[in-house]
Amino acid sequence: MQSVAAAVCAVPVLLLAWRLGGTYLDRYFTRKLTVLCELDDIGNPRPDNKRIQGTAVICGGSIAGLWTARIAADHFEDVAVVEPEPWLATEEGQSNTFDADGTPIESRRENIRTRVMQYTSVHIFQPLALLALRKLFPNVDEEVKNADGRIAAYEVNGHAFGRPIMKIPMHEYPDGNYPECLFMTRELYERLLRRLVTQSSKRIRWVVGTATGINTVPGDPTTLSSVTIRTPEGNGEKIPAALVIDCTGGTQAGLKWLRRIAADTVNTETLQKCAPAGALSWDDVKIEYSTAQPYIVYRFYVPPEARAKLPIPGGYENNIWPYMYMPVPGVERKIFMMNRIEGHRFNIAFCGWGAPPMPMDFDSIKDWFKNFSIDHQKIPEWILPLLDILLEYKDQCEILTGKYSDPSWLRFERAPYVPSNFIAIGDAVMRVNPVFGQGCSKATIGALALDGFLKSSSYANLTTIPAGFGREFFKMHKNKIESIWDGTKPTDYMWDTTRPVKGEKHSDEWLNGVLGNIVMDLAGRDPEVDAALFKVRFFLGPSTALLAPHLLVKIIAFAVRQKLGLVPA
């Protein structure tokens, strides 16, 4: 009798412990694996007498460089952004290309980025960027509106396994404060960000030039003294640096600079002493694989008389991203998406793993869709009539082609040598498959992580960058971005057209890939799993959210039922 009573009493205690434990773990992983805690405190600058002395030299003035410049301006006395493309330093580099009505602004869009090949390709931005922008720039909504960009619920009508997935879990936002995001071209995002950032602080200055190397303090290779740049006139100059931040994107210049210093025999003895246990060899710091993904985008102009006629669910004005199709990994290879952008233009983009057949001219677009009945997904009925209307205006359609960059990860935290005052953010550290649309968020995450790091108790009161800062930053940063790599590589490996990382096999990621498929399939059927996937994929929760016990039970049960053939298609 006593033992029954004890068991009954133990139940609420266990439930409470379970709940408290879950809350603790959730907080722990949110702090460690996301930048949601950092987000709360961005935009609060250091007092002037506590600023880090000298200049934060940011190499690269694109997405990562701009986010980082805004954050660095809250901590350093001076911020220099080194960027080779001269027009970015002019008014043109920060101007809108369309007015609020979507009318092209004369003389804009004459310049195009020459070093950022994805400048014109379709981009999707996650809610994280908007959350941070609204904290840093209270006028951002107005600015977006004035440029014919859009801010709306983060609804991109993604479909996988024949069902809509990653829908906003509206029931979790009863106050109506659901995640929103920016809908615009990458071109406008970059120009807008540049305007907001450069106008936000007098401490930020723009330097036209190419960073060609970094220099160490004489006799101390662990500390950098300056960045060497080549000016447009071809002259070499040195910019003294308190902290060097590599934001050179796909150029990934930082790794080359570090290797150059490490290879100098003058430094060998000192650097050997500093190399951490378990450091990788230089050749192993960078890992990369290839997904072989060409793309083609048809960018239609939609004239006023056609807008109301377009048979988009919800109407042209309201449905900004009407469809995105994700194939079953490993089964089908094609992917397509449709979205509206500023200037009354409508994108239809085709891509796929291992270069699947894509419609390469206007005549083949409809046939491509007509033959589209794969992995139990059917195209919505409104797409063919939509094409009929858009194709009437094909004379005003831009066609953009290119190839997705191969994913790569520079594991600086385990490099043989990292100077104390060197860090890297954005694609300079990691490039992931663009299909998943996470690259720009990764840059935002890096900048927010830097803000939190500089505000942590170890550094908040220092006015110089201490020994070991660079490596500690990379260790912390890795925790925040690792899930992006781990969450996409297994899916990429499901296709045999993917060339794995040197020394790896497709089968190394088989289990993770299969689990990913199970979660995606279940997400289309179970709102709770879908809500967790939404948060994890869009950086609104830690990746561990999918491991919550009640979700794990659902995932395992689904996998078993699937194995037994009990799951309807």
Site residues (vs ligand FAD, CB under 6 A): 59-65, 82-85, 115-116, 118, 121, 123-125, 210-211, 247-251, 253, 402, 404-405, 426-428, 434, 437-441, 443
Query: For residues 99-132, b (16+ Cβ closer than 10 Å) or e, as one string?
Result: eeebeeeeeebeeebeebebbbbbbbbbbbbbbb
As measured in angstroms, the least distance from the Cβ of 429 to ligand FAD is 8
How many other C-beta atoms lie within 10 A of the C-beta of residue 255?
20
As measured in angstroms, the least distance from the Cβ of 320 to ligand FAD is 14
Of 441 and 498, the one with the shorter C-beta distance to ligand FAD is: 441
Of 191 and 554, the one with the shorter C-beta distance to ligand FAD is: 191
Of 83 and 521, the one with the shorter C-beta distance to ligand FAD is: 83
As measured in angstroms, the least distance from the Cβ of 64 to ligand FAD is 3
Kindly compute the dihedral angle of the four CA atoms of residues 202, 460, 428, 510, in this order, to the nearest 10 degrees: -140
How far apart are alpha carbons 68 and 61 in whole angstroms? 9
As measured in angstroms, the least distance from the Cβ of 552 to ligand FAD is 29
Of 59 and 390, the one with the shorter C-beta distance to ligand FAD is: 59
> How much helix, strand and coil, in percent to the nearest 5, is found in the chain?
45, 20, 35
Tell me the C-alpha to C-alpha distance, in Å, between residue 260 and each of 56, 110, 230, 268, 409: 22, 38, 17, 11, 19
Task: Find out whether 276 and 382 touch, Cβ atoms under 8 Å.
Answer: no
Of 252 and 319, the one with the shorter C-beta distance to ligand FAD is: 252
How far apart are alpha carbons 404 and 321 in whole angstroms? 21
As measured in angstroms, the least distance from the Cβ of 67 to ligand FAD is 8
How far apart are alpha carbons 433 and 334 in whole angstroms? 15
How many other C-beta atoms lie within 10 A of the C-beta of residue 394?
15
Of 316 and 538, the one with the shorter C-beta distance to ligand FAD is: 538
As measured in angstroms, the least distance from the Cβ of 389 to ligand FAD is 26
How far apart are alpha carbons 168 and 478 in whole angstroms? 27
Of 294 and 359, the one with the shorter C-beta distance to ligand FAD is: 294
How far apart are alpha carbons 45 and 200 in whole angstroms? 12
As measured in angstroms, the least distance from the Cβ of 80 to ligand FAD is 11
Residue with tokens 């968020």: 441
Of 437 and 541, the one with the shorter C-beta distance to ligand FAD is: 437
Laid out side by side, the sheet with 430-431 consists of 286-288, 408-410, 430-431
Of 120 and 270, the one with the shorter C-beta distance to ligand FAD is: 120
Burial class (CB within 10 angstroms; exposed 0-12, middle 13-18, buried 19+) of 178: middle
Q: How far is CA 344 from the centre of its chain?
A: 25
As measured in angstroms, the least distance from the Cβ of 244 to ligand FAD is 11
Helix (H) or strand (E) holding 21: helix 2-33
Q: Which of 310, 374, 321, 313 is nearest to 349 (CA)?
A: 321
Structure tokens at 375: 């992995």
Of 135 and 403, the one with the shorter C-beta distance to ligand FAD is: 403
Cα four-point dihedral sign 64, 65, 66, 68: positive
Neighbouring-strand partners of residue 349: 297, 337
Of 65 and 452, the one with the shorter C-beta distance to ligand FAD is: 65
Of 206 and 301, the one with the shorter C-beta distance to ligand FAD is: 206
Q: Which of 564, 550, 286 is nearest to 416 (CA)?
A: 286
As measured in angstroms, the least distance from the Cβ of 370 to ligand FAD is 27
As measured in angstroms, the least distance from the Cβ of 95 to ligand FAD is 17
Neighbouring-strand partners of residue 287: 409
Q: Which amino acid is at 399?
A: I
As measured in angstroms, the least distance from the Cβ of 268 to ligand FAD is 26
As measured in angstroms, the least distance from the Cβ of 313 to ligand FAD is 22
As measured in angstroms, the least distance from the Cβ of 433 to ligand FAD is 9
Of 429 and 522, the one with the shorter C-beta distance to ligand FAD is: 429
Question: Rg of the chain's alpha carbons, rounded to an integer?
Answer: 25
Q: List helix spans (H) across 310-430.
A: 362-370, 383-391
Of 296 and 548, the one with the shorter C-beta distance to ligand FAD is: 296
As measured in angstroms, the least distance from the Cβ of 278 to ligand FAD is 27
How far apart are alpha carbons 189 and 150 in whole angstroms? 11
How far apart are alpha carbons 335 and 123 in whole angstroms? 15
Residue with tokens 């490596």: 471
